[in-house]
Chain A
Amino acid sequence: MSRRLGWFLAGGLLVALVLAGVVSALASSSPDGLDATALKGCTVDAEGTITGGTCMAQREGEHQMADSPLADYGIKGIDNPYLATGLSGVAGVLITFGLGAGLFWVVRRRGPAVGTTPRGGVAAGGAPADAGER
């Protein structure tokens, strides 16, 4: 990986960490478009529990991972909501980058690098789509 690409990735990751770690504190806590539609027709109490009516969400089940330490974008044991959300966001960005980049690196195409000519007459692995590119 070139150094320039490294700097770009570091910059992008920093932006993502600030968004998930800091800006997330400003996020709206209203139910989103799908949840709001799913609750249409039901009455809910202050904690979001359905108290009556007919709506799509009335048979909604508990999440299998509700006991995860990061469940609902918090961190088990941290009560300050901003701190918990921010830290779980930072953890999520790092985990997603690590897992994503790792998996993509494992399945990536291992042909000759774009722009280099294969040596010794070995023509395998070249991607025609990249032929006009330098």
Chain B
Amino acid sequence: MNVEAMHIANGIVNGPVSGAFAALAVLALAVCVWRGRADLDDRLAPMAGLVAAFIFAVQMLNFQVLPGVSGHLLGGTLAAILVGPWVGALCVSTVLVIQCLLFADGGLTALGLNITNMALLGTAAGYLLVAGLLRLLPRTPTGLAATAFVASVASVVISSQGFVLEYWLGGTTRLSLPTISLTMAGVHVLIGIGEGLIAGTTVATVSRVRPDLVYALRRFRAVPRPAAAPTPATVAGGAA
């Protein structure tokens, strides 16, 4: 059995362009560590580890989208909803580095390209859409699932166009760019729908079990929920 993953292999984009994107990725990840530290408290740190492990697991689950074509979750939107954009991008990057170094998945030379598309572009696009949608949709498990679905579809298509840009800049072969762009977008709409269903189910489940652990719900809460804080009387009586 061959578990494929949609990471760029070595030799599809040339060395100089791959190198430039590697430098961009290192720089962007440094910014993510810097900005993410403000979010990373004692609770979010282990949660972020879990999000990374979960994305690794789900990336192994390729689902069929067309005859002879499969896809899997990329995870940027899911990570952004659960742990925020900065830490979310770091989660996806952690997965990509481990996949590249230990599982020979996604070329080492292409690591910067893959981080740019899936961890940076995917998470940023997902987060911006989530931030916009949560102003319109109810902050309920269903509303959050719908948000995750829509943002995932768009984020996956945007990630796929990141590859098109990189291929345009440094592809080792010269093929029709509009054709590649359209083919990638078409396939990735279907993959995005699969990703959206997985991400929607996951965030709805987490928001039912532990809404306090969902970054997007904490961040975009319009009014503080009165039910979250117990009254002093119950604390005095019920502290265990």
**Residues of A in contact with B (beta carbons under 8 Å apart):** 1-2, 4-5, 8-9, 12-13, 15-17, 19-20, 23-38, 40-41, 48, 54-66, 68, 70-73, 81-82, 85, 88-89, 92-105, 107-109, 111, 113-114, 127, 129, 132-134
Chain A interface helix/strand/loop/mixed: helix
Which among B3, B42, B48, B188 is the interface contact of A27 at CB below 8 angstroms? B3
Q: B151 contacts the other chain (Cβ, under 8 Å)? A: no
Question: Are the CB atoms of B68 and A63 closer together than 8 Å?
Answer: no
Cα-based distance from A51 to B184 in the complex (angstroms): 23
Question: Are the CB atoms of A72 and B56 closer together than 8 Å?
Answer: no
**Residues of B in contact with A (beta carbons under 8 Å apart):** 1-12, 33, 36-54, 56-58, 60-66, 68-72, 87, 90-91, 94-95, 98-105, 107-109, 160, 163, 167, 171-173, 175, 180, 183-184, 187-188, 190-191, 209-210, 213, 218-219, 224, 228-229
Question: Are the CB atoms of A61 and B60 closer together than 8 Å?
Answer: no
CB distance from B41 to the nearest CB of A (A): 6
| Residue from B42, B48, B58, B66 whose CB has the most chain A CB atoms within 10 Å | B42
7 closest A-B pairs by CB: A101-B49, A61-B11, A61-B10, A100-B52, A97-B53, A20-B57, A33-B187
Which among B11, B36, B160 is the interface contact of A60 at CB below 8 angstroms? B11
A19-B58, A40-B183 given; A105·B46 CB < 8 A: yes
